[in-house]
Amino acid sequence: MLKGWCHCGEVGWTLVQAPKSVTACNCTICRRYGALWAYGYIGCDIQTTGQTTTYRRSDSRDILFHFCAICGCVSHYVATFEDENGYKRTAVNVRMSDFSPISELPIRHFEGRDCFKALPCDGRLVKDMWF
């Protein structure tokens, strides 16, 4: 299990199973947020708490980004549609968690800016990109 919370402590998430890797995306929004994402499904293996404010990119209606309404930290995003099993794909920002449980996780890189595809792993771990 992995837990994360915003700076003021008002918003949090729980990922039932610890991730095996995290993703860094270079799309126009993720590179600005600096988030490292771990995936699951809202209400299934990801639980969230607290009041959030949301943002939807003008060029995409597929993802709703959630922020703490008080301190502004990006906590997670949720797909706006359900998959074939009735679940909404979700990603939590693992930068909101403690460092030690995730420091050795490999980082997967996703080219979200130009071609929208996964890139080969380059050997970097969370500890290499933590700051």
Lowest mean pLDDT among 3-12, 39-48, 58-67: 58-67
Dist CA 12 CA 35 (whole Å): 15
Q: What is the pLDDT of residues 93-115, one digit of tens each?
A: 999 999 999 999 999 999 888 88
pTM (2 d.p.): 0.91
Q: What is the pLDDT of residues 82-92, one digit of tens each?
A: 999 999 999 99
DSSP 94: G
Domains of the chain in sequence order: 2-129 (2.170.150.70)
Strand partners, 55: 65
Give residue 130's pLDDT: 81
Q: In a 3-state reduction of DSSP, which class is residue 127?
A: helix
Strand partners, 106: 125
